[in-house]
């Protein structure tokens, strides 16, 4: 019987499942190198931790790793119900909150190694977490795809730690009761984008789609975020908000240090700013996570669904 020690949290409603012990040995390379090993040889572990019957489509996993640099608090590799992620904003807030809960770190500044690079974080005295993300940038402006039944949809392709298609003019009403319709619309939009051959840098798949509309009650914007496995993000999405900030900066609509308040489809909020350094846009995202459970996952070798329902290797 295999035992996997986990700590669950949520950031703005979006769960993070931190694997503390019982994970695979990925070697001692960088987080990007370990991610490749994880993906090539241990995808069954990703599925076992995240997918039904132990998990759900909405959970994002985080495998805690020994860091390469002594100055880093930890290393981490993120994954969800369909893929491995280079970076995860809400997940990083969850990981730092969890490390604080466990007594491994105290309020202050902490470095966290991810496949996208090392990010600097700050655990505030009041429990909030600020993530100083990797540089974000717009890869392509005003990309237009033809979506059957809706016509032409135009948006930007941008990087904020993951690849995003960001759309302001879409004709959708971003309300919680419209979740099913929004999921269908954004999923078809993602497929249309892929079919049209639009990608991120180096031919990278644009795995996320974000719809925006003007915010209310102090929020600058409200969004709906489609994640790679067709689940929607309950949080405002840290890497997505980083990509949005990069586009706003490129258009001269947000000044360095100016706060952008991004609200999610469930009403949770992140505060975002950025700094310019060496002609790069460096976003910072502030939010709060809450620890929800400590437990062990058990994998019984006689269980036909031990690696997740519909898992095939």
Active site residue 247: no
From the list 104, 103, 110, the residue with the least C-alpha distance to 124 is 110
Record the tokens describing residue 182, joined without a space: 């929004």
Which stretches does DSSP call E strand in the chain? 2-11, 14-21, 60-65, 72-79, 84-85, 108-114, 117-123, 129-132, 137-147, 151-159, 163-167, 208-214, 221-226, 260-263, 269-277, 280-287, 289-299
Active site residue 237: yes
Catalytic residue, from 65, 227, 237, 247: name it: 237
Burial track 66-102 (b if 16+ CB lie within 10 A, e otherwise): ebbeeebbbbbbbbbbbbbbbbbbbbbbbbbbbbbbe
Q: How far is it, in rounded angstroms, from Cα 97 to Cα 112?
A: 12
Cβ(203)–Cβ(79) under 8 Å? no
**Which residues are part of the catalytic machinery?**
88, 237
């Amino acid at each position: 019987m295999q035992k996997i020690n986990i700590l669950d949290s949520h950031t703005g409603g979006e769960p993070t499942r931190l694997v503390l012990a019982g994970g695979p040995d990925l070697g001692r390379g960088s987080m990007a190198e370990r991610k490749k090993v994880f993906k090539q040889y241990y995808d069954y572990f990703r599925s076992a931790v995240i997918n039904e019957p132990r998990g759900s489509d909405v959970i994002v996993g985080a495998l805690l790793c020994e860091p390469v640099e002594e100055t880093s608090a930890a290393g981490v590799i993120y994954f969800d119900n369909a893929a491995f992620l280079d970076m995860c904003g809400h997940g990083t807030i969850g990981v730092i909150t969890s490390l604080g809960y466990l007594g491994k770190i105290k309020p202050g500044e902490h470095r966290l190694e991810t496949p996208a690079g090392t990010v600097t974080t700050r655990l505030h005295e009041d429990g909030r977490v600020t993530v100083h993300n990797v540089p974000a940038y717009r890869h392509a402006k005003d990309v237009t795809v033809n979506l059957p039944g809706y016509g032409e949809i135009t948006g930007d392709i941008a990087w904020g730690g993951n690849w995003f298609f960001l759309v302001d003019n879409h004709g959708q009403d971003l309300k919680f009761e419209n979740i099913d319709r929004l999921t269908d619309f954004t999923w078809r939009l993602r497929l249309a984008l892929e079919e049209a051959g639009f990608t991120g840098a180096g031919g990278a798949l644009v795995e996320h789609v974000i719809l925006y509309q003007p915010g209310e009650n102090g929020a600058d914007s409200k969004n709906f975020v489609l994640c790679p496995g067709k689940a929607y993000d309950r949080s405002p999405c840290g890497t997505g908000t980083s990509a949005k900030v990069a586009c706003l900066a490129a258009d001269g609509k947000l000044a360095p240090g100016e706060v952008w308040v991004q609200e999610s489809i469930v009403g949770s909020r992140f505060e975002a700013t950025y700094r310019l350094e060496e002609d790069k846009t460096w976003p910072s995202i502030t939010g709060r996570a809450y620890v929800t459970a400590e437990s062990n996952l058990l994998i019984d070798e006689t269980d036909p669904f031990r690696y997740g329902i519909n898992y095939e290797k």
